[in-house]
Structures are given as structure tokens and as C-alpha cells.
């Protein structure tokens, strides 16, 4: 069966510090991968998605970036965090073939920028 992992589970970082959140998927090959952010009182906002190694699409311009160094690894990064980067970050995956495939979400990372 497929599983998706995210770490860390919680993170408290000062403004201006770097960020690296990791997401890995097990039990599947060549998945589509997604990064979402959920700010307080709001829905999920798609930040990035990837259909393959090194292929990243950005949905929202900001100081965050994403990378996919391996087939089942998706990393969200920032060189300098802003207060507005606080939120709950969710990684998701879906099967890459077919017209539509359900997205499966990871447990999330709660980021607090102080």
C-alpha cells in the first residue's frame, strides 16, 4: 500500500531563517506531487505541483520554492522566511496516469514563523 510522509510535524522558525520541508511517498512510482498551504481560517492553496523529477510548476509567486530531486521526494524551501509564511503545509500525491486521480494527503507540517 502507498503511504506519504512529511517532516517535521511542527516547526518554529525566526523571520529571515531558511526552510526545508520534506515529503516522501512510498509504494508507488512516478506520482504527481503537490504542496499546499493552509493559512488560519482559510482553505488549501496550491503552491507547487510536479509531474516528474525536476519538473516543478508554481501556482503562486512568493518566496518559496520546490524541488523534486528523486521520483518520490518533494521538498519545499525558502531562503528567508516571512511572517506570512506561517501556516499548515500539506503534501499530496496522485497517480500520474488517467483523466483524474484522487489526491492523497500527508499528515502535514505546522510552521510558525516568529
> Are 91 and 72 spatial neighbours (Cβ–Cβ below 8 Å)?
no
Q: What minimum distance in Å lies between the beta carbon of 16 and another protein? A: 27
The cell 512510482 sits on which residue?
29
The nearer residue to another protein, 7 or 79, going by C-beta atoms, is 7
The nearer residue to another protein, 14 or 102, going by C-beta atoms, is 102
The cell 516571512 sits on which residue?
82
Show the CA angle centred on residue 33, arms to residues 98 and 40, nearest 5°: 120
Interacting residue ranges for another protein, rule: CB under 8 A: 32, 34, 41-46, 49, 51, 59, 88, 90, 92, 100, 102-103, 105, 107-108, 110
Which helix or strand (DSSP H or E) is residue 66 part of?
A: strand 64-70
Q: What minimum distance in Å lies between the beta carbon of 91 and another protein? A: 11
Q: What minimum distance in Å lies between the beta carbon of 92 and another protein? A: 8
The nearer residue to another protein, 16 or 107, going by C-beta atoms, is 107
Dump the DSSP string for 50-64: EEETTEEEESS-SSE
Amino acid at each position: 500500500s502507498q503511504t506519504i510522509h512529511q517532516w517535521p510535524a511542527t516547526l518554529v522558525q525566526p523571520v529571515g531563517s531558511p526552510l526545508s520541508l520534506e515529503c516522501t511517498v512510498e509504494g508507488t512510482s512516478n506520482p504527481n506531487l503537490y504542496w499546499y498551504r493552509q493559512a488560519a481560517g482559510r482553505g488549501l492553496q496550491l503552491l507547487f505541483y510536479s509531474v516528474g523529477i525536476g519538473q516543478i510548476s508554481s501556482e503562486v509567486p512568493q518566496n518559496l520554492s520546490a524541488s523534486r530531486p528523486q521520483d518520490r521526494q518533494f521538498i519545499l524551501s525558502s531562503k528567508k522566511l516571512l511572517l506570512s509564511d506561517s501556516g499548515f503545509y500539506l503534501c499530496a500525491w496522485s497517480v500520474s496516469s488517467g483523466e483524474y486521480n484522487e489526491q492523497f494527503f500527508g499528515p502535514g507540517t505546522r510552521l510558525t514563523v516568529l
